Every structure is written in structure tokens, then in C-alpha cells.
Amino acid sequence: MTSKEKTWKEASPAGVCWKSSRTYLTGDWKTYTPVRDVAKCTKCLQCTIFCPDGAIHWNEGKGDIEFDLNFCKGCGICANECPPKAIVMKIE
Amino acid sequence: MKSVVKQEFQGLNGDEAVALAVKQSDVDVVAAYPITPQTIIVEKLSEYVANGEVETEYVCTESEHSAMAACLAASATGARVFTATASAGLALMHEMLFVTSGCRAPVVMAVANRALSAPLNIHGDHSDAMAERDSGWIQIYAENAQEVYDSTIQAFRIAEHLDVQLPVMVGLDGFIVSHTLENVRVLEDDVVKEFVKTRQFPVVLTHEGKTVPFKLDPDTPMTMGPVALQNYYFEFKRQQEEAMKNALEVIEQIHAEYAQLTGRSYGDGLIEKYKTEDAEIVIICVGSTAGTVKTVVDELRNSGVKAGLLRIRTYRPFPVKELVERLGKVKAVAVMDRSMSFGGNGGAVFHEVRHGLYDAASHPYIVNYIYGLGGRDTSPTQIRKIFEDLQKMLQTKQIGDLVRYVGLRE
């Protein structure tokens, strides 16, 4: 624990979160990383729907999906659900 | 002292007194599951709702665990919430009691204290609530229907106080108080409403960096009771302990404010002392048995025996300092427990009292009497015998058995 942690007098009651979960990067928990074969991907967006961490986004500007590896926990659900099998999980 | 407000006598049993107090206290949500000897409370409340006499939302749940979950959720949105239970119902709530206190939800609950199975027993003792003493709830035990009415009204103010923000249990002895018809002085609706006020909220810092009232609101979202592991859990528990310490003062304050309004008081709201100023032998007890003890104390005083009673009204937080101060010159103490702590060398009240006395200037003889389990009657004769035991202790200077049993076939 660092000295930046709040004391019991400073913390909000009942564990009310004073930081957003966006600042809590859970991506470093993973063992496997999703790797996409762009040639196979049909951009059906099934992966964005199935990702339990909301770590795959549709980027309107690029007209493509993107993985947010800061939050991907490497569960592999995207690879499992991908209809053309364009995603494979590779060990980090 | 101001003249007290207008009140009228109503014939009410303890359960009805609770229901009336809740009706008058502007409660938003009641979520409950009926169980003997608490059933009359929820029957009455559902009647009030059905008749349109209150604006309370009544939620019928499928179990007490769900009842407390619903109470917590409603309370988290900012509602004033009440429920009632007893015995197995309270035991089934066990998990949610900790979640409710941990979420700092000021829920008020009446517990019509009843024995726990097995063997099955529906009658009054304190086994149910004493088993929940570490659940983070404030515990107030009433002596009679009048005190149940008064304590229920006070409980909302205590629970919702900004320095407390903890749930409160009001205990009434099953059947002895819950089902016995008594004359209860009742306040007018407006007076109660003015006393309980509307719920107040502390402000908290949320993940959006905003400082907002501590309640769930779509405009100011927040997360309550999330995961807090090795890094933070401990800090939140320490906060609860601080709130309990604050509650000691708050209970006294609100009790005094209510006494000013109604002319009724129960000691200082924490401990009621009865003829203890010069007492040499004292009984300490909780709940309705105090009434019987008072009668015996009067008798003994008439025959020149310096007997007294200390009734613990607030068991959690336990008023250690106040207890030690009030025991002053007492030479022998009998602590009466209406529940057992198996293998614990005495009951829950005994443990607290004896522990508290360690730091006292003088140490009286102190013994424990387990009594009235499963609703067994405790008579004035038995109380007299306890005082005789204490007198004998002073004469012989021998304590004898530390833990004794009242009215048990030996």
C-alpha cells in the first residue's frame, strides 16, 4: 500500500467509489492477448457485443474495431464467438 | 422544562405500538415477512397501507433475507425504511444485516425477541438479537409497550443522524411485550412527523469528482458497497466503529429531546438506573424483566435493603463509561442474561459488564444469572432470591458459582 491511499477518516462511507473504474487498469491481469487477422475479419461486431469488459470498440473514424488492452483480461470469449475465427488468443 | 405536548391513552400491545409509531414516522418503504411474535406489526402496517392511511410502499417478500435486501435497496435510494422480524427470521437476515450496516443504510427494524430452534420455541428470549450483536446494528431494548412506541420514533432520528448513519434494531420481548395490552400514551401525528423530520444525507465524493448527497440518484450516480479487498476493507470497518461511538452521544441527545417533548425518559437513553444512588446490591438486566426487578427493589427498600437496578437500554453501542460511573459504590452485582453464549462462561450482557468493570476504581462481586429461556416466566420470588444471593455473598465474601440458572429444574 502506498501513502497515497486514503485513511479511514478520508475515505467516503460505505465504500462509495471516489475514482472511476476507468482509472483502474485491469488489462495487466491477462495471460492471453487477442490477435486479429484483419483479412478474415468481416467487422460483424459480434466481439464488441460479447466482450464482458467492453474492451473492444467500434471506431467510427477508422471504420474499424479496436481492442483496448488496458481493460482486456484475456478471457478469449471474442475468439470463441468470432464467426469467421479471425481472432486467436496468443500467450503474452 | 417546557410543558409536554398533548397525548392520549390508547390500549396497545407492543406490536401495535411499533406499528403506530411507524405509521406516524412518515416511513416511505416497509419490506417484511411475517413471523411470530412480530406478525401483528406487519399485519397492522399492511392494514394502514390497504386503508390508504399512509403513503408507505409495502413490499411483500418471500423471505426475511429478501426483506432486508429490499430494505437496504430502498434505503440506498434515500427512502426512510422500516421492517420487523424475530428469531429464525432475524437469523435468516444475518448476511444482509452486515451488508446493510456496511452500506451505512439507516434502516429501522423492530425485533420481537424470540428463542431460536431447536427445540422449536416461539416464546420470548434474547437469543435472536444477541446472536447479531456484532452485525453493526445499534440495539435498543425496550421494557414495555410505551417504551417500544417511544424508542421506535427515536430510532429513525438516531439511524439517520449525520454522525451515525447506521441501522437500528428496537427489541421488544416476544409475547411479554409484543402481545400484552397496555395503556400507551400516544402523540399526535403532526408532532411525531415534526420530531422525526425528513431524512438527512451526508455528502460524499463520487467517481465523477462531485460532492453529492449520499443516495442513489440517476443524476448523480455512485457506487455503494463495492469490492474492497486488503487495501480498503479495514478502513471501512473502522468507520463503522466510529459511527457506533458517535451513536452513544446521539442516542442520549435524541432521547433528551424526546423527553423534553413528551415528559418521558428512560434513564439517559443508554442506561436506566433505579434506586442505585446508595445501592449496595444491584441487578443489571435488559428488557421487560426490569419491570419485575423494580417491584422487588421497592419491596426490599421498604425493608431497609439497599437494592437497585441498572437496566441496559442501549446494548450496542455498549455504554461502558456510563455503566462504570453508575456502579459507583455497589458491592455486589447480578447480571441477568436471557440468552446463552454456549461455552462462553456467561451470557452476552455479563461479558460486557464484567469487561467494562476491569477499568473501574473498585470491583464489586459480579455473577451471572441465565434466566427465562424459551419464554420461561421469571417471578418476583426468583428475583428476591437473586438479591438474597448477593447479600449472602457480601456476608460470606464468597462468590460461589460464577454462572447460575434461574428457574431451571436441577
Whether B142 and B401 have beta carbons less than 8 Å apart is answered as no
| Segment 6-25 of chain A within 8 Å of chain B by CB | 6-8, 11-21
Pairing of strands B203-205, B211-213: antiparallel
Verify whether the Cβ–Cβ distance B242 to A8 is below 8 Å.
yes
Chosen for mutation from B222, B230, B234, B245 (greatest number of chain A CBs closer than 10 Å) is B222
Does the pLDDT of residue A85 top 70, yes or no?
A: yes
What's the confidence (pLDDT) of residue B222? Answer: 95
What is the mean pLDDT of the segment spanning B172-196? 98
At B315, list the grid cell: 446494548
What's the confidence (pLDDT) of residue B359? Answer: 85
Which helix (H) or strand (E) is B66 found in, with range?
A: helix B64-76
What's the confidence (pLDDT) of residue A68? Answer: 96
Verify whether the Cβ–Cβ distance A5 to B208 is below 8 Å.
no
| Confidence band of B135 (pLDDT split at 50, 70, 90) | very high
Q: Give the total residue count for chain A.
A: 92
Measure in Å the smallest separation between the Cα of B32 and chain A Cα atoms.
Answer: 24
CA angle B387, B393, B396 (to 5 degrees): 140
pTM above 0.90, yes or no: yes
What is the mean pLDDT of the segment spanning A44-72? 96
CB proximity list for B366: less than 8 A, separation 6 or greater: B332, B333, B334, B335, B350, B353, B354, B357
Q: What is the mean pLDDT of chain B?
A: 97
What's the confidence (pLDDT) of residue A1? Answer: 47
Q: Chain B residues contacting A, CB < 8 Å?
A: 102-104, 165, 202, 204-208, 214, 222-226, 228, 231-232, 234-236, 238-239, 242
Pairing of strands A64-67, B138-141: unpaired
If you count residue pairs, one on A and one on B, with CB atoms under 8 Å apart, how many are there? 61
Whether A12 and B205 have beta carbons less than 8 Å apart is answered as yes
What is the mean pLDDT of the segment spanning B317-331? 90
Verify whether the Cβ–Cβ distance A15 to B225 is below 8 Å.
yes
Q: A74 exposed, middle or buried (CB, 10 Å; 0-12, 13-18, 19+)?
A: buried
Minimum Cα–Cα distance from A16: chain B residue: B224
What's the confidence (pLDDT) of residue A32? Answer: 96
What is the mean pLDDT of the segment spanning B381-399? 97
What is the mean pLDDT of the segment spanning B259-275? 97
B80-113 pLDDT, tens digit each: 999 999 999 999 999 999 999 999 999 999 999 9
Minimum Cα–Cα distance from A23: chain B residue: B207
Q: What is the mean pLDDT of chain A?
A: 94
| Helical packing angle, B14-24 and B39-50, nearest 10° | 40
More confident call, A23 vs B143: B143
DSSP-derived secondary structure letter, B7: E
Task: Determine the CATH number of domain B271-405.
Answer: 3.40.50.920
Task: Determine the CATH number of domain B7-202+227-262.
Answer: 3.40.50.970
Q: Give the count of beta carbons closer than 10 Å to the beta carbon of residue A55.
A: 23
What's the confidence (pLDDT) of residue B407? Answer: 96
| Segment 29-88 of chain A within 8 Å of chain B by CB | none
What is the mean pLDDT of the segment spanning B362-381? 97
Q: Find the Cα–Cα–Cα–Cα dihedral B315, B368, B339, B131, rounded to 10°.
A: 50
Segments of chain B assigned to CATH 3.40.50.970: 7-202+227-262
Q: Give the count of beta carbons closer than 10 Å to the beta carbon of residue B219.
A: 6
Does the pLDDT of residue B1 top 50, yes or no?
A: no
Whether B103 and B166 have beta carbons less than 8 Å apart is answered as no
Q: Which of A11, A16, A19 sits opposite B224 (nearest CB)?
A: A16
Chosen for mutation from B99, B205, B241, B246 (greatest number of chain A CBs closer than 10 Å) is B205
Verify whether the Cβ–Cβ distance B235 to A21 is below 8 Å.
no
Domain residue limits at A75: 25-91
A52 within domain boundaries: yes
Q: Which residues of A touch B214 (CB under 8 A)?
A: 13-14, 16
What's the confidence (pLDDT) of residue B2? Answer: 55
B197-255 pLDDT, tens digit each: 999 999 999 999 999 999 999 999 999 999 999 999 999 999 999 999 999 999 999 99
What's the confidence (pLDDT) of residue A3? Answer: 59
CA angle B328, B331, B334 (to 5 degrees): 100
CATH of residue A34: 3.30.70.20
Whether B35 and B87 have beta carbons less than 8 Å apart is answered as yes
Verify whether the Cβ–Cβ distance A13 to B239 is below 8 Å.
yes
Verify whether the Cβ–Cβ distance B239 to A17 is below 8 Å.
no
Measure in Å the smallest separation between the Cα of A61 and chain B Cα atoms.
Answer: 27
Question: How many structural domains is chain A composed of?
Answer: 1
Measure in Å the smallest separation between the Cα of A4 and chain B Cα atoms.
Answer: 11
Segments of chain B assigned to CATH 3.40.50.920: 271-405
Does the pLDDT of residue B125 top 90, yes or no?
A: yes
Measure in Å the smallest separation between the Cα of B312 and chain A Cα atoms.
Answer: 29
Minimum Cα–Cα distance from B201: chain A residue: A13
Verify whether the Cβ–Cβ distance B214 to A1 is below 8 Å.
no
What is the mean pLDDT of the segment spanning B25-44? 98
Measure in Å the smallest separation between the Cα of A15 and chain B Cα atoms.
Answer: 5
Lowest mean per-residue pLDDT among A19-23, A41-45, B169-173: A19-23
What is the mean pLDDT of the segment spanning B135-152? 98
Does the pLDDT of residue A2 top 90, yes or no?
A: no
Minimum Cα–Cα distance from A2: chain B residue: B231
A71 within domain boundaries: yes
A37 within domain boundaries: yes
